């Protein structure tokens, strides 16, 4: 003869009801919100284009209402040639860019890490001075272009901004377009890490 404990049966039934109810609720549970990106991203619907002498384009990377960088085109006419300088210019002492050589700006490929440079060398260093993206020499019968941003592929200028005595690292997406004797520096967007003293990958947001 099988004896059924009514109390045990009641406990088991209660557990079953609770368990089945929790399963039903889990099916309709609202997923947790995705964490906000740690990168301040500026994507320009109409890319900034530098192609005319005297033009100056401004970028506010940290979105604080104050421009951090300017991009400009300077022209130097001489007897046998005319030189065009496409320049990135930090606008205050808290903004630095990665430079190479004497005055050139350093170009990072996509996914390359932008962070503190140790040791700092002539071929790659942080600088608060202007950086030349591209130089174009126009002769009577020839054109010569030099600089790390020369070419048609997408490249990145490394930038860091000091806020409250610590650096935030970021990038500016730059593409060079050339057709015959016409050159354009196209700026499509920027990214800046919200967290200080953290490396950022070029183009990643």
pLDDT digits 0-9 by tens, 173-182: 999 999 888 9
Average pLDDT over residues 73-77: 96
Question: What per-residue confidence (pLDDT) applies to 181?
Answer: 87
Tokens linked to 155: 């490249």
Stated pTM of the model: 0.81
pLDDT of residue 28 exceeding 90, the answer is no
Question: What per-residue confidence (pLDDT) applies to 37?
Answer: 84
Asked if residues 115 and 167 have their Cβ atoms less than 8 Å apart, the reply is no
Average pLDDT over residues 42-71: 95
In 3D, which of 74, 202, 84 has the Cα closest to residue 146?
84
pLDDT of residue 185 exceeding 80, the answer is yes
Asked if residues 201 and 178 have their Cβ atoms less than 8 Å apart, the reply is no
Which residue's structure tokens are 């941003």? 149
Question: What per-residue confidence (pLDDT) applies to 20?
Answer: 46
Mean pLDDT of the chain: 87
Of 100 and 14, the one with more pLDDT: 100
Cα–Cα distance for residue pair 170/162, rounded to 1 Å: 11
Cα–Cα distance for residue pair 196/205, rounded to 1 Å: 15
**Strand 166-179 and strand 154-163: pairing?**
antiparallel
SS3 for 43? strand
Question: What per-residue confidence (pLDDT) applies to 9?
Answer: 47
Question: What per-residue confidence (pLDDT) applies to 1?
Answer: 46
Question: What per-residue confidence (pLDDT) applies to 5?
Answer: 54
pLDDT of residue 21 exceeding 80, the answer is no
Question: What per-residue confidence (pLDDT) applies to 27?
Answer: 40
Residue 178 parent element (H or E): strand 166-179
Average pLDDT over residues 58-63: 96
pLDDT band at 205 (very low <50, low <70, confident <90, very high): confident
Q: What is the pLDDT of residues 94-145, one digit of tens each?
A: 999 999 999 999 999 999 999 999 999 999 999 999 999 999 999 999 999 9
Residue 9 parent element (H or E): helix 6-27
Q: At residue 192, what are phi and psi to the nearest 5 degrees?
A: -140, 130
């Amino acid at each position: 003869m099988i004896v059924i404990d009514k109390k045990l049966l009641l406990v088991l039934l209660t557990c079953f009801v609770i368990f089945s109810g929790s399963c039903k609720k889990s099916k309709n549970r609202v997923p947790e919100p995705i964490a906000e990106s740690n990168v301040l991203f500026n994507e320009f619907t109409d890319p900034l284009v530098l192609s005319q002498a005297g033009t100056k384009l401004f970028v506010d990377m940290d979105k604080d209402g104050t421009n951090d960088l300017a991009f400009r085109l300077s022209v130097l006419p001489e007897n046998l040639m005319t030189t065009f300088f496409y320049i990135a210019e930090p606008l205050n002492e808290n903004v630095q860019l990665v430079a190479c050589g004497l005055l050139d700006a350093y170009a990072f490929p996509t996914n390359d890490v932008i962070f503190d440079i140790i040791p700092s060398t002539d071929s790659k260093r942080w600088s608060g001075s202007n950086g030349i993206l591209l130089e174009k020499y126009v002769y009577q019968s020839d054109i010569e272009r030099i600089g790390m941003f020369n070419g048609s592929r997408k490249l990145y200028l490394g930038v860091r901004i000091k806020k409250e005595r610590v650096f935030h690292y970021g990038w500016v997406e730059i593409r060079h377009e050339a057709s015959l004797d016409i050159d354009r520096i196209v700026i499509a967007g920027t990214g800046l890490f919200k967290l200080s003293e953290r490396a950022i990958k070029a183009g990643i947001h």
